[in-house]
């Protein structure tokens, strides 16, 4: 029940619930990955079952695809959709310009492909994800397994000339084995502490052999829906330059929470 949610989970829930209002009948919708995006998928599933909403969802990971099917959303591939009306996803950090760090859940490659194949991208997040400057959250970089140690060394050498505070990097692990993405790659987490020029860093990273994609989403997000633990919601539209405020009610009868696994 919603009354049993922590303040952070309440904030994630209200952001997702409010963002679901932007989804209209007939839309092709990119479905993000992560705990906040899972609230969104559940909310949309409820709208499909109870309100007859008809949408087609393009998931950004195998686990999002599984959840979407479980709640009754029609799942199609991006190749089938070709272009999307809207993508809604979470973020690990966002700044005042709605630039993002994503990839904490390991799906940054598919997330960026889907987001950039959309007319609009909406980010849903709790207020704790807002930062003045990106970089406190480790920046994920997806790399091919072949020669990953060499790629790691090249990245660390390159960081010397970048406007960052930290230069250490670690291979993301899954237990005692390297984490493997849906595309069969590894992830290097860059512990930069502060990123002074995200646009430059993103461009340089993606020019390096062995790097598939990085978790900096620059000029991709159009709107962020920020949730607070008391039910307040703030909607920031970077294109319109507007900030709106709303409040979502918690219903004890809400059944979205019973078996959601983050």
Which residues participate in catalysis according to the annotation? 111
State how far the Cα of 192 lies from the Cα of 202, in Å rounded to an integer. Answer: 13
The answer to whether the annotation marks 92 as part of a ligand binding site is: yes
The answer to whether the annotation marks 25 as part of a ligand binding site is: no
The answer to whether the annotation marks 106 as part of a ligand binding site is: no
State how far the Cα of 130 lies from the Cα of 32, in Å rounded to an integer. Answer: 18
State how far the Cα of 32 lies from the Cα of 221, in Å rounded to an integer. Answer: 13
The answer to whether the annotation marks 45 as part of a ligand binding site is: no
State CA 112 to chain mean position distance.
9
CA distance between the termini of the chain = 16
The answer to whether the annotation marks 17 as part of a ligand binding site is: no
The answer to whether the annotation marks 43 as part of a ligand binding site is: no
The answer to whether the annotation marks 89 as part of a ligand binding site is: yes
By the 8 A CB rule, do 136 and 190 touch?
no
3 state SS for 49-110: HHHCCCCEEEECCHHHHHHHHHCCCEECCHHHHCCECEEEECCCEECCCCCEECCCCCCHHH
The answer to whether the annotation marks 102 as part of a ligand binding site is: yes
The answer to whether the annotation marks 168 as part of a ligand binding site is: no
User: Residues comprising the binding site for substrate?
Assistant: 33-36, 89-92, 102-105, 129
User: Residues comprising the binding site?
Assistant: 33-36, 89-92, 102-105, 129
């Amino acid at each position: 029940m919603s009354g049993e949610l922590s303040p952070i989970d309440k904030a994630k829930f209200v952001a997702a619930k409010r963002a679901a209002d932007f989804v209209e009948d007939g839309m092709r919708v990119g479905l993000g990955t992560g705990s906040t995006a899972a609230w969104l998928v559940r909310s949309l599933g409820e709208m499909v079952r109870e309100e007859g909403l008809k949408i087609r969802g393009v998931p950004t990971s195998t686990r999002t695809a599984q959840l979407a099917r479980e709640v009754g959303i029609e799942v199609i591939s991006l190749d089938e959709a070709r272009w999307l009306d809207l993508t809604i996803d979470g973020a690990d950090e966002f700044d005042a310009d709605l630039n993002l760090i994503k990839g904490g859940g390991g799906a940054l490659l598919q997330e960026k492909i889907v987001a950039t194949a959309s007319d609009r991208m909406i980010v849903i997040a709790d207020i704790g994800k807002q930062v003045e400057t990106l970089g406190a959250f480790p920046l994920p970089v997806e790399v091919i397994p072949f020669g990953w140690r060499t790629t790691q060394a090249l990245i660390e050498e390159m960081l010397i000339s970048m406007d960052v505070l930290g230069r250490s990097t670690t291979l993301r692990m899954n237990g005692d084995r390297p984490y493997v993405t849906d595309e069969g790659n590894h992830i290097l987490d860059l512990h930069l502490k502060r990123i002074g020029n995200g646009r430059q860093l993103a461009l340089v990273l993606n020019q390096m052999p062995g790097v598939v994609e990085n978790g900096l989403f620059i000029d991709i997000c159009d709107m962020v829906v920020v949730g607070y633990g008391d039910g307040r919601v703030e909607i920031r539209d970077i294109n319109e330059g507007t900030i709106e405020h709303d409040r979502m009610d918690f219903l004890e009868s809400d059944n979205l929470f019973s078996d959601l696994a983050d």
